Amino acid sequence: MVQKTIGVPLSLTGIGLHSGTTATVTLAPAPADAGRYFVIDGHRVPATVAEVKGTLLCTAIGGIRTVEHLLSALLGMGIDNVAIHVQGEEIPILDGSALPWVELLNQAGIVCQGEKPSPPVLQYPVWVQEEDRFVIAMPAPQLQFTYGIDFPSKAIGTQWFTWLPQGDYGEKIAPARTFTMADQVEKLRAQGLIQGGSLENAIVCDGEKWLNPPLRFPDEPCRHKLLDFIGDLSLLPHLPIAHYLAYKASHNLHIQLARLLWERNFSLA
């Protein structure tokens, strides 16, 4: 196993889903063993679960909201070391998926660095449950992710998706966009959330149908939840080999699982 960074610095500018304000993110190469970290007002903030400050409909680090799609792309594309310079208060939502980040990484070039230690291996299950919602990490011979969702809306219903990473994050996970329910939009706006939300950066479900078809996958909502889950799990510096499964979960539950794995030193033997 080798560590990876990117070849050259590259930037993207766009508006934040929740704040509605414009921000510019510049991804820059970082040396071996530096990890993934934000640079905010000249301060370095590691992209780790210890730095997470909020999980209301998104994950926030160092005062920067909605970090999860970018972080998901970095883990999904195997980038171990990168500096994430942020000018603004929220990572741009772009098209609501992680695909623009994957394209930026490919454009910057992915560069191999020094040796990477073998990842830790989870030894016993760790989980968090809230009523019928749960997240669990189970011992498994290889890294695997499963997500389940269940919505009363006919257009979504029950969906399950499992992914065994095989260098196919860019095809199977990254294109899945953020989704929302039309009847939630006004309520969330009134709470000061999704100020930058539009039909350009989220797929919107109105019970029986989608307001802005076509979907990129029949199970795009479930794949997007998995995209978010991967982004939240990337806040563990060395993701243990395990089967990660979430059902009807949220950023809050994802982060609680990451915190437990962190605190228990990955529950390693």
Catalytic residues: 251
- Mask for 159-188, x = binds Zn ion (CB under 5 A): -------------------x----------
Which residue's C-beta sits nearest to Zn ion? 228
Could you tell me which stretch among 13-21, 136-144, 168-176, 221-229 binds Zn ion (CB under 5 A)?
221-229
Q: Residue 50: phi, psi to the nearest 5?
A: -65, -20
Give me the sign of the Cα torsion angle 130, 261, 100, 171.
negative
Cα(5)–Cα(32) distance, rounded to whole angstroms?
Answer: 8
- Token digits of residue 27: 């991804």
DSSP state of 267: G
- Mask for 123-162, x = binds Zn ion (CB under 5 A): ----------------------------------------
Q: Which is nearer to Zn ion, 90 or 228 (CB)?
A: 228
Could you tell me which stretch among 110-118, 124-132, 182-190, 223-231 binds Zn ion (CB under 5 A)?
223-231
Residue type, 262: W
Three-class SS of residue 265? helix
Q: Which of 80, 90, 220, 228 binds Zn ion (CB under 5 A)?
A: 228
Q: Which is nearer to Zn ion, 4 or 223 (CB)?
A: 223
Cα(183)–Cα(205) distance, rounded to whole angstroms?
Answer: 9
Query: Least Å distance between CB 25 and Zn ion?
Result: 16
Query: Least Å distance between CB 128 and Zn ion?
Result: 19
Could you tell me which stretch among 23-31, 191-199, 209-217, 227-235 binds Zn ion (CB under 5 A)?
227-235
With binding defined as CB under 5 A, does residue 220 bind Zn ion?
Answer: no
**Omega before residue 214 within 30° of 0, cis:** yes
Q: Which is nearer to Zn ion, 30 or 230 (CB)?
A: 230
With binding defined as CB under 5 A, does residue 80 bind Zn ion?
Answer: no
Query: In whole angstroms, how far apart are CA 258 and each of 83, 168, 189, 230, 269?
Result: 22, 23, 29, 11, 18
Query: Least Å distance between CB 69 and Zn ion?
Result: 6
| Total interface residues for Zn ion by CB under 5 A | 2
Q: How many CA atoms lie within 13 A of 104 on its CB side?
A: 23
Q: Which residue is associated with the tokens 């939300």?
A: 197
DSSP state of 112: E
Q: Which is nearer to Zn ion, 142 or 191 (CB)?
A: 191
Q: Which is nearer to Zn ion, 32 or 151 (CB)?
A: 151
Q: How many CA atoms lie within 13 A of 236 on its CB side?
A: 26
* Residues at the contact surface with Zn ion, assessed by CB under 5 A: 178, 228
